[in-house]
């Protein structure tokens, strides 16, 4: 079989010095010896355009990542006559046309759970970075300043603040768990309401989205990108948020309208925005989020710590081993199977 993987570039020197960077093209998810030892062809690249188009024509399996996404469009799926399996090394398969994959009988799977700790920790970090006005404070130090008044005038505790979590799956729940010791008031919104026992365990209460937005001092977005969440945070919703609130988005860039967010920050309606997801990715140098005020953006690395890379590399190997043997892939990993979008995280958005 032919397996094609599109992974982020690290450079030969960096990859060699850091073998834990399994998600980079040079280190190949640690799969080459395993795959070639079984007689399979393994093609790894960083190019997401013509090189990928040519490779997909005869590929049986495609491996992608959310951090350096190769967009597996309907057009690419139509041309990939042999394609049977698409795997995401990480979590989030929105870069794949799930409907087209289902129609062609292609299985789509991602390594669910591989990033949950990593992303939840990143969310809490970015909430604190915004609330404590860390980025301007750091810049002030680097530039040789000592302007305590300017920095402290925008610095806050998060104790007693209201935090709204949009998307209460594995990551959203772990964000809630990590925020509980800060003695914040926790609310959540999801298309499925958690059980009473889950709400008690995580210390969060359900609110409809519009109510959550208008009462929250901090909002964390932790839902997948689907047709129903694409630009969910449009201009109307951003300006419906509590004035002076912070917004943290480690889910997907397209859940937030690009220009509307810049407007909300320029107008001073939002106090700050942080996250590590953009659209498109990699973000172009002139992307407006790079220069908007009061942001604490990072490149998309929250879910690809060294520990997370080890988890998703191991998960990809498990999926391939099952696929080669004709055995079922881990149920929690399945996104599309048997001609339908099967994962509850996505299927609700594709229901008629």
Catalytic amino acids? 115, 252, 281, 300
Q: Which residues contact 352 (CB under 8 A, 6 or more apart)?
A: none
User: Is-contact 57 13, C-beta < 8 A?
Assistant: no
Sign of CA pseudo-dihedral 278, 280, 283, 287: negative
- Find the DSSP H helices in the chain: 12-17, 32-37, 50-56, 74-79, 98-103, 116-131, 134-142, 148-152, 170-179, 196-202, 209-215, 235-240, 258-266, 306-325, 344-350
**Tokens representing residue 309 in the block:** 């890379």
Exposed, middle or buried: residue 268 (CB in 10 Å: 0-12, 13-18, 19+)? exposed
Q: Which residues contact 158 (CB under 8 A, 6 or more apart)?
A: 127, 128, 131, 179, 182, 184, 217, 218
User: Is-contact 166 212, C-beta < 8 A?
Assistant: yes
Q: Which residues contact 124 (CB under 8 A, 6 or more apart)?
A: 175, 178, 179
User: Is-contact 83 56, C-beta < 8 A?
Assistant: yes
């Amino acid at each position: 079989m032919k397996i094609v993987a599109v992974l982020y570039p690290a450079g030969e020197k960096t990859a060699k010095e850091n073998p834990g960077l399994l998600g980079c093209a040079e280190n190949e998810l640690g799969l080459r010896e395993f795959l070639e030892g079984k007689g399979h062809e393994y093609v790894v690249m960083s190019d997401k355009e013509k090189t990928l188009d040519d490779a997909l024509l005869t590929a049986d399996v495609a491996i992608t990542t959310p951090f350096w996404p190769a967009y597996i469009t309907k057009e690419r799926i139509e041309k990939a006559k042999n394609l049977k399996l698409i795997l995401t090394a990480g979590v989030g398969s929105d870069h794949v046309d799930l409907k087209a994959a289902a129609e062609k009988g292609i299985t789509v799977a991602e390594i669910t759970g591989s990033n949950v700790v990593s992303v939840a920790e990143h969310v809490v970090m970015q909430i604190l970075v915004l609330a404590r006005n860390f980025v301007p404070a750091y810049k002030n130090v680097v530039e040789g300043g000592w302007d305590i008044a300017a920095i402290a005038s925008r610095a806050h505790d998060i104790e007693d603040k209201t935090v709204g979590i949009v998307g209460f799956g594995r990551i959203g729940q772990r964000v809630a768990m990590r925020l509980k010791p800060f003695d914040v008031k926790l609310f959540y919104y999801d298309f499925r309401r958690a059980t009473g026992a889950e709400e008690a365990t995580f210390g969060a209460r359900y609110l409809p989205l519009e109510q959550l937005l208008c009462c929250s001092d901090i909002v964390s977005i932790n839902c997948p990108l689907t047709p129903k969440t694409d630009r969910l945070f449009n201009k109307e919703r951003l300006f419906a948020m509590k004035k002076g609130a912070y917004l943290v988005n480690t889910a997907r860039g397209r859940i937030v309208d690009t220009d509307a967010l810049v407007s909300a920050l320029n107008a001073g309606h939002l106090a700050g925005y942080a996250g590590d997801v953009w659209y498109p990715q990699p973000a172009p140098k002139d992307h407006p989020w790079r220069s908007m005020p009061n942001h604490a953006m990072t490149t998309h690395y929250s879910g690809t710590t060294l520990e997370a890379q080890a988890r998703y590399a191991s998960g990809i190997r498990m999926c391939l081993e099952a696929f080669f043997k004709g055995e079922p892939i881990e149920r929690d990993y399945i996104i599309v199977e048997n001609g339908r979008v099967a994962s509850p995280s996505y299927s609700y958005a594709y229901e008629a």
